[in-house]
Amino acid sequence: MVSESQMNEFTAWAKRRGVIFPSSEIYGGLGSSYDYGPVGVEMKNRLKTSWWRSMVHERQDVVGLDSAIILNPAVWQASGHLDNFSDLMVEDLKTHKRYRVEDLDDPTKSPEGNPVGEAKQFNVMFKTFVGPVEDDASTAYLRPETCQGIFIDFKQILETSRQRVPFGIAQIGKSFRNEITPGNLTFRTREFEQMEMEFFVREEEANKWFDYWVEARFQWYLDLGIRKENLRLFKHPKAKLAHYSKGTTDIEYKFPWGWGELEGIANRGNFDLVQHQKNSGKDLSVFDEETREKFVPWVIEPAGGVDRALLAILLDAWKFFQKGRKEDGEPETVLEVAPTLAAYDAAVLPLVKKPELLKMSQKLVASLRAAGKHVFYDESGSIGRRYRRMDEIGTPICYTVDFESLDDKKVTARDRDSMKQTRVTL
């Protein structure tokens, strides 16, 4: 686990090992914009697959969606984002840096101790233009949350998927917010990925489903291997609820800089569907054949961030041994991540660069790949260094092919965490 004093070490590791690094770096970067390298993108994809499996594939009552990022701007008028999706912002009168009032200990002073100007509302939606003319009529927005695509497609999906309330629609995708104070690596960025599911229920069943989803989502983070003592639930006080929410509980992680939100589970009532019904003029109610009732469903929403979840997983799994794990005294990093989230399932390492060993190793790589495994192959350098490189990116197992392997058709399987080596049949 990463402590606050190890954050620089962790950030350097993330860059060096192709996990996460600043974007556009050759041009000096772009404030809090990050890229995921070869290791990071694999882990991120596996995280999303895990979410999709638990939220969609393993259930009868949830279906998926991939909606557009740029929607008709009327969506954001109806959803309340054009009027309400803003942060109260102040400017340091000396440095002219801007801060969210919410982040300040004293709202009259900047963190540097300078006086601040009058607080102003700042809408955090990114504006753009659709088509060649840049005027008010062509103004559009990059979505600040993925869920509105779900609400506006709700009726269409209900009619074509053979689902009935209670049921859910899940979506993973990029969202954009012009955050005033991004920071803490990928914790708060302006471009990020969300995993959201809108679960449509009858009003009288909303509380039951809310409790169900809080528990199910908390368990998902535990199943990914995050330590229980680093996770907690935080119930939002009524006064701090978002404009659409009747109740929200966050799942928080103990980041090196303090507790921070990974996911919010909100009871959105029927706010969104009613708003879209009013603004679009389309009937978004459902008809219950049994009770012969027409109603606009309520919504329970588990809304998580891919980048934040991955950051928490990395921070939780990262271990630094100043004097190495053996007595050789060399500093060593091990990413003790769940094997299902590791960038590679296994590495294949010929002990030395001899043609017969390379040939046998390549055959092993091919058979592992045919079995659907993501394999790293590395044939040069000392075996100790090659093991350490794999430990650093969390590869759970390394298979070493040596001269004995040619005779007994066995390889050495070396475990990342225990470093135990066992001979296994090919």
Residue ranges that bind ligand GAP, judged by CB under 6 A: 145, 147, 177, 179, 188-189, 192, 194, 196, 261-264, 301, 303-305, 307-308
How near is the Cβ of 248 to ligand GAP at its closest, in Å?
Answer: 8
Q: How far is the CB of 121 from ligand GAP (least distance, A)?
A: 17
Q: Which is nearer to ligand GAP, 196 or 332 (CB)?
A: 196
Cα separation, 275 vs 271, whole angstroms: 6
Residue with smaller CB distance to ligand GAP, 261 or 402: 261
Residue 5: phi, psi to the nearest 5? -70, -15
For ligand GAP, which is the closer residue by CB, 250 or 345? 250
Judged by CB, which is closer to ligand GAP: 42, or 301? 301
Quick one: residue 370, left, alpha or beta (phi over 0 = left, psi -120 to 50 = alpha)? alpha
Cβ closest to ligand GAP, residue 309 vs residue 347: 309
Q: Are 69 and 62 in contact (CB under 8 A)?
A: no
As measured in angstroms, the least distance from the Cβ of 148 to ligand GAP is 8
Q: How far is the CB of 239 from ligand GAP (least distance, A)?
A: 17
Q: Is the dihedral of CA 151, 157, 159, 162 positive or negative?
A: negative
Q: How far is the CB of 55 from ligand GAP (least distance, A)?
A: 14
Distance CA 273, CA 18 (A): 42
Q: Least distance from C-beta 16 to ligand GAP, angstroms?
A: 23
- The distance of closest approach from Cβ of residue 320 to ligand GAP in the complex, given in angstroms and rounded to an integer, is 25
- Shortest spacing between CB 264 and ligand GAP, in angstroms: 4
Residue (234 or 287) nearer to ligand GAP, CB: 234
- Rounded to whole angstroms, the Cα distance separating 264 from 301 reads 8
Which stretch of DSSP H or E encloses residue 415? strand 410-415
Give the burial class of 59: count Cβ atoms within 10 A of its Cβ; 0-12 exposed, 13-18 middle, 19 or more buried: middle
Which is closer to ligand GAP, CB of 314 or CB of 349?
314
7 or 413, CB closer to ligand GAP?
7
Residue nearest ligand GAP, CB atom distance: 305
d(CA 413, CA 364): 13
Q: Which is nearer to ligand GAP, 147 or 286 (CB)?
A: 147
| 222 versus 419: smaller Cβ distance to ligand GAP | 222
Shortest distance, CB of residue 210 to ligand GAP, whole angstroms?
Answer: 14
- Taking the least distance from each CB to ligand GAP, the nearer of 262 and 357 is 262
Give min distance, CB of 177 to ligand GAP, in A: 5
* Distance between CA atoms of residues 310 and 42, nearest Å: 11
How does strand 120-123 pair with strand 86-91? Answer: antiparallel
> Hey, which residues does 122 pair with through a beta bridge?
87
CB of 260 to ligand GAP, least distance (A): 9
Amino acid at 10: F
Preceding omega of 331 cis (within 30 degrees of 0): no
